[in-house]
Amino acid sequence: MNKTLITILMFALLLLFIISPFAALAGLMLVVLVSAFFFLVGNLFQAIIGGDTNPKGS
C-alpha cells in the first residue's frame, strides 16, 4: 500500500511540474508523465486485486 501512495504522490508532483509556468523540458516531462501514469494504473490495479507487492515474499 505504501508503494501505491508513493506512486500517487509522485504522479501529482509530475503534474505540478508540467503545469508550472517555468517548466523547461516540458516535452520530456510529458513522456515521463505518460510512463508514470502507466505505473500508477499498474500499482492501483495491484492494490485493488490484493496482489503481493513484495515479490520476494519476505
21-37 CB burial, b ≥16 within 10 A, e <16? eeeeeeeebeeeeeebe
For 56, counting Cβ atoms within 10 Å of its Cβ (0-12 exposed, 13-18 middle, 19+ buried), the class is exposed
Between CA 1 and CA 23 the distance in angstroms is: 31
Between CA 37 and CA 4 the distance in angstroms is: 12
Q: What pTM was estimated for this model as a whole?
A: 0.51
Give residue-wise pLDDT tens across range 1-35.
687 888 888 888 778 777 776 666 666 777 777 88
What pLDDT is attached to residue 18?
72
Place of cell 501529482: 12
